[in-house]
Structure 1
Amino acid sequence: MKLVVITAIAEFEKEVKKMLKNAKVLSYSYRDVKGYRDSTEEAIETNWFGTEMNETESVVFYAFVLQQNLDILFDEVKEFNNKQDSVSHVHLAVLGVEKYN
């Protein structure tokens, strides 16, 4: 069992939900958040929010995912990101869970 954290701009919320469903992750939590990044010292191309704005409407998802479903989820995210014309992408991080109840 792994804890998955997914962040994305709010416009990608439906797509992230579809990715989770395709990876057989049927239970998850998500929340609207303000994404913030100090991009004053970066070129616009390296800013993952895709603009010079410092705040953007974003979402963060949390889910416990079975090991066998992780590859499917990573493939879904990679495929989605590869199709994007925008600089913004879906970001996926996996954390190990030592114990859960």
Structure 2
Amino acid sequence: MKLLLITAINEFEKEVKDILIKSGAKSFTYGDVKGYKNGTENNVADNWFASSYTEIDSLLFTVFLPAENLENILKKIEEFNTEQETLSKIHVAVLNLEQQF
């Protein structure tokens, strides 16, 4: 059994849901989260109104699935990200589960 944590901007909600459903995820949860990006590597002094961080409205998906479904989901996420012209991507972390109840 695997646990996937997927983050994406709100605009990608439909696409993430489609990927999960078409890849055999039987159930998942998701909710609104605030993404945070530290912008201090940019020259803030060049912009009078700049701040050192940016908050982004995002979604966090929690998915439990059998290991055999994992590769298909990762492949579809990679394909989606490759096709994007925006800087934002779908991000995924995979955790192995030793026990489940």
Does the pair score TM above 0.5?
Answer: yes
Q: Secondary structure at the match of 1:74?
A: helix
Equivalences for residues 1-101 of structure 1 within 5 A: 1-41=1-41, 54-101=54-101
Q: CA RMSD in A?
A: 1.6
Structure with larger Rg: 2
- How far apart are the structure 2 equivalents of 1:93 and 1:14? 19
Question: What fraction of aligned residue pairs are identical, expressed as a percent?
Answer: 43
Rounded Cα–Cα distance in structure 2 between residues aligned with 1:42 and 1:73: 34
- Unaligned regions of 5+ residues in structure 2, if any? 44-51
| Partner SS for 2:38 | coil
Structure-1-length-normalised TM-score = 0.87
* Higher fraction of strand: 2
- Residue 76 of structure 2 aligns to a residue whose secondary structure is helix
Give 2:80's aligned amino acid.
F
Structure 1 alignment gaps of length 5 or more = 44-51
Say if 2:26 and 2:65, in contact at 8 Å, map to a contact too.
Answer: no
CA distance in 2, matches of 1:96, 1:37: 27
- The alignment of Structure 1 onto Structure 2 pairs a total of residues equal to 93
